[in-house]
Chain A
């Protein structure tokens, strides 16, 4: 009885602190199963919708259906990049390592999503224009974005020290995001074939809107899971190798002296 009482009293706190709940010392599930169930159901519904219900486009046919995956993933790529930028600034401002863990998680998801954008875009281009690749504005933009965040991940993997990796990652994360509008402006000078504004039938618009749900849920879910993992790694490193803390150095020195005596 009392148990249910405490639960209901604590419920709002637990709900607000999803991220707190994720980072227990035990390997607790990072996100509630309900979340993944929702994502799965939304994805299944979206897939059924796109193949069974949405009308086929007249001139392009089946290949046009890639679009429902392509656009939501592209938008979410951009949101993930924005998260890297905000987390980088947050780290340089507060110097808390959890900001860095968030930036790394978001960058990883950004790279995966950007790869999906590039691949789906290439299949579309093959179907619609007859070529796999053209150096046209949006394609170039996505490719440069992909390079920027792949380099971000490579850069991080090359640095051992957590603190240094966080500072350098943050600096690069800021520079990379500052570059994004410039890449966009410069790419616009190229001859364009990519559809800019697409007029859609109402059924198509609805399908597109539905596709945003699973793709966004998946992106947020992946970022949160990866963040939880990064948190655990950071914590275990901090507790196992406490080289940095002066206290432990003093303790070790005492032990050495004690051993020698």
Chain B
């Protein structure tokens, strides 16, 4: 157990060291995230145009902006995430690094966990930059449910990365076109989007407390797909 943890730690360290030295993913992904926030912000700007007069109207507008801010942030994390998954697997393609990794005396499930953690670290870095930008652009008070927001996004992103890491290995090992990765990940991740957007509507628009049953669905998703990824990763690499 401790030995496995050490192996995962070494693999994650390797990935992050490559990233720290080349910085080929993080810059790209952060700029993409910011662009998504700006583009969607501009697109949604004219939305609640009706009834702008009076304090009540303004308040509703701000409220509405707050709700769309969470949705926009979510979309930014998702698209930036897909790029992260693709890049962290592509690293292994150069100089036949994947063959080296497969020859290493490791359980291949551990490679999956290591890639998953590396991806989560990268998405966390994106979130740390993109979230403040979203809060500023949308003039939106995240503090109303900051803890819940972190919990929902955290639980959802783990499931999303679990699916994404597995599929990135599929795409990378079979040399499919890049566009296919997003197409594979999004339909499978739609339950996460449905549940988290319902929960955020509840918290930020209707001021209801966090629903544990909905959070349970997110956690079930995480558990199922982390386990499936761990079991199936080996099969994907061998082809």
Contacts and interface: CB of A to CB of B under 8 A. Distances in A.
28 contacts: A144-B190, A154-B183, A155-B184, A158-B177, A159-B174, A159-B176, A163-B239, A164-B174, A164-B239, A171-B166, A171-B170, A171-B232, A171-B235, A172-B184, A175-B163, A175-B166, A175-B225, A175-B232, A179-B188, A182-B191, A185-B191, A186-B190, A186-B191, A186-B194, A187-B191, A187-B194, A189-B198, A190-B198
Given A178-B225, A178-B228, A190-B198, A172 B191 contact: no
A151 interface: yes
Given A151-B184, A171-B232, A189-B195, A183 B190 contact: yes
A174 interface: yes
A107 to B, nearest CB: 14
A171 B194 contact: no
Nearest to A145: B187
Interface stretch (B41-49, B57-65, B116-124, B214-222): B214-222
A181 to B, nearest CB: 9
A148 interface: yes
Given A159-B176, A161-B239, 18 more contacts: A92-B235, A140-B194, A144-B187, A147-B187, A147-B190, A151-B184, A155-B176, A158-B180, A167-B236, A171-B235, A174-B228, A175-B166, A176-B188, A178-B224, A179-B191, A182-B191, A185-B191, A189-B214
A198 to B, nearest CB: 25
Contacts of A185: 191, 217, 220
Nearest to B217: A185
Contacts of B166: 171, 175
B64 to A, nearest CB: 18
Given A167-B236, A168-B174, A178-B228, A186 B195 contact: yes
Contacts of B220: 182, 185
B191 A154 contact: no
Interface in B147-202: 163, 166, 170, 174, 176-177, 180, 183-184, 187-188, 190-192, 194-195, 198
Say what secondary structure dominates the interface of chain A.
Answer: helix
Interface residues of B, number: 29
Nearest to B229: A175
Contacts of A190: 194, 198
Contacts of A186: 190-192, 194-195, 198, 217
A158 B175 CA distance: 9
Nearest to A143: B190
A187 B177 CA distance: 31
B228 A172 contact: no
B89 to A, nearest CB: 14
Nearest to B186: A147
Given A92-B235, A182-B217, A155 B180 contact: yes
B180 A154 contact: yes
Contacts of A178: 224-225, 228
Interface string B100-138: 000000000000000000000000000000000000000
